[in-house]
Structures are given as C-alpha cells and as structure tokens.
Amino acid sequence: MPTHKVDYSAKYADGTSSLETQLSDSNTAGAELNITESIADGVTDVRVLTGLIDVSQVKSIYVEAPGVLTLELNHASTPTQTITTEKNNPTIWSTGFTGRANPLIADFTDIYVTNASGGALVLEVRILYDPTV
C-alpha cells in the first residue's frame, strides 16, 4: 500500500516578529494518483487526468510546479475549483495537519491545465486516497 510521509517546515521573519510552523504526518492508503507531466508554454485547458477522486477519501496531497500553472477541476470553462501553482510554494496537505482544511473542496473527475508562464513547466501531483468508497 502506498504511504506518504509529509514533513513541512516554514519560517517567516520580518525583523520585528517571527513565525515558525512545523507539521509532520504519515498516511497509508490503498491508492495513489501520480502525475508528472511537462506542460508546454501557451497551452490552454490540456487534460492531464480523467478518473474519479472522492475528496472525502483523500489522505494526503502534494501539488507543485516550478512556476505558475492554472489547474481547473472537473470542467475547463466552468471548473468546480481552480488551483494556481506558485514557484517554490507547493500545495501540501495531510489529514494529520490539525487545523488545516483539505485544499480540495469537491470530488473531481478531470484536471485541466493552462500554462502562460513563458516556458514549459513540469507539473507534479501526488494524491493518496482510499479507493474502497
């Protein structure tokens, strides 16, 4: 069975105050969605996934690209959710991250990606989930 071990640490300091966050969690589940896809510059609404993800069964999420990509879930022109990647700022979540909501808000069957960054970018998606429901 696939396992995700997530260790996340962030520090912020502006000279007058500082904030440090450290989160750690490990999950095992029956299935894992893995996408590693080079997204060419200038493409609009290219489909990179077709298949059902039940958000209530998601245990861990990792989404990253080395620049700005727009991900539209379920439908390209009227998505149920839009996720925008940022350079050096992955979307990370795990069920053990107390007080942090799952960034996925609805079940989805499709992911469409748009790249207007000026160059090709590699999209990395890892979603650990329980497929038995």
CA distance 34 to 63: 10
CATH topology of domain 29-129: Jelly Rolls (2.60.120)
Domain ranges in the chain are 29-129
Structure confidence at residue 92 (pLDDT)? 92
pLDDT in tens, 36-68: 999 999 999 999 998 899 999 999 999 999 999
**Amino acid (one-letter) located at 54:** D
**Are 23 and 38 contacting, i.e. CB atoms less than 8 angstroms apart?**
no
**Are 124 and 63 contacting, i.e. CB atoms less than 8 angstroms apart?**
yes
What 3-state DSSP class applies to 18? strand
**Are 79 and 132 contacting, i.e. CB atoms less than 8 angstroms apart?**
no
pLDDT in tens, 5-23: 988 787 777 767 677 778 8
- The pTM score is 0.87
pLDDT in tens, 115-128: 999 999 999 999 99
What six digits make up the tokens of 118? 């000026």
Query: Is the pLDDT reported for residue 74 higher than 90?
Result: yes
Structure confidence at residue 14 (pLDDT)? 75
Query: Is the pLDDT reported for residue 98 higher than 90?
Result: no
Query: Where do the DSSP E strands lie in 1-133?
Result: 3-13, 18-28, 31-39, 46-53, 58-64, 70-73, 81-84, 91-94, 108-114, 121-129
Beta bridge mates, 98: none
Q: Look up tokens 């038995």; give the residue.
A: 132
Structure confidence at residue 19 (pLDDT)? 72
Residue 69 pLDDT class (50, 70, 90 cuts)? very high
Handedness of CA 79, 2, 60, 29 (dihedral sign): positive
Structure confidence at residue 47 (pLDDT)? 96
